[in-house]
């Protein structure tokens, strides 16, 4: 499974990129707004740090203006993925860019039917929002299961399942078990993956025993 980080905070991106675990970045208008910076400046800086896909979302709601915004965003760097909503106009824009070899991330997916449409429109990524479905009492991971099962039936579907709205490590582990290609994860949740009480306890014991030897390695 590929790990994308869901943030526009360049400090978090640099820290996680240094681990070698980061495969890409997703942003959205909300995350850009939180950064308090110019959208083009932020995206250019992110693309200089991360070589994998960097999702940049359009804000227009009609296909014509989505395409114009997408063209401008795609000029930032070769690894920009244009992010469009799962609407009729969004899928028109998706087909426009996919036909030109530009990566497209179709976002705000909440049903398997929508995921089929995105794949047929040539999306590189489909972003089902598991956490938001869980929030209203629906089965977010069940949607991941459905989409992965459907996509496996058709060799012509090249769309990758990008699990979004991740709330906790269980979303990541279970999505990986189901065969999702990518998870886009908030920085704090990525850091939660590192922690286990037995790891901390074991390290504390090893260091305590090593100190008793009075030795140094370097």
Q: How far apart are CA 10 and CA 6, in angstroms?
A: 11
Nearest to 57, CA basis, from 28, 30, 85? 28
Q: Which one is catalytic: 2, 83, 92, 216?
A: 83
Q: How far apart are CA 84 and CA 92, in angstroms?
A: 10
Q: Residue 105 is inside which H or E element, if any?
A: strand 104-109
CA 3 to chain centre: 7
Write the DSSP symbol of residue 109.
E
* Geometric angle at alpha carbon 187, from 191 and 86, rounded to 5°: 135
Q: Residue 114 is inside which H or E element, if any?
A: helix 112-120
Write the DSSP symbol of residue 103.
-
Number of CB atoms found within 10 A of residue 95's CB: 15
Which tokens go with 207? 């260091």
User: Residue written as tokens 């929508």?
Assistant: 114
Q: Residue 21 is inside which H or E element, if any?
A: none
83 is catalytic: yes
User: Residue written as tokens 């977010």?
Assistant: 140
Which residues are identified as catalytic? 83
């Amino acid at each position: 499974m590929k790990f994308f980080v869901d943030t526009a905070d360049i400090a978090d991106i640099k820290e996680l990129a240094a681990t070698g675990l980061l495969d890409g970045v997703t942003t959205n208008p909300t995350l850009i707004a939180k950064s308090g910076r110019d959208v083009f400046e932020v995206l250019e800086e992110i693309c200089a740090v991360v070589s994998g896909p960097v999702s940049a979302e359009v804000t227009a709601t009609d296909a014509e203006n989505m395409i114009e915004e997408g063209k401008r965003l795609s000029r930032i760097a070769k690894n920009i993925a244009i992010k469009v909503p799962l609407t009729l106009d969004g899928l028109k824009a998706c087909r426009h860019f996919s036909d030109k070899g530009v990566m497209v991330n179709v976002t705000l997916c909440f049903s398997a039917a929508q995921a089929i449409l995105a794949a047929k429109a040539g999306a590189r990524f489909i972003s089902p929002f598991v956490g938001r479905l869980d929030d209203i009492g629906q089965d977010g991971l069940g949607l991941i299961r459905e989409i992965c099962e459907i996509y496996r039936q058709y060799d012509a579907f090249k769309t990758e399942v990008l699990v979004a709205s991740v709330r906790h490590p269980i979303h990541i582990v279970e999505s990986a078990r189901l065969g999702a290609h990518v998870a886009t994860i908030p920085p704090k949740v990525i850091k939660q993956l590192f922690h286990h009480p037995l790891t901390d306890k074991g390290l504390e014991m090893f260091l305590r025993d090593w100190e008793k030897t009075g030795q140094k390695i370097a």
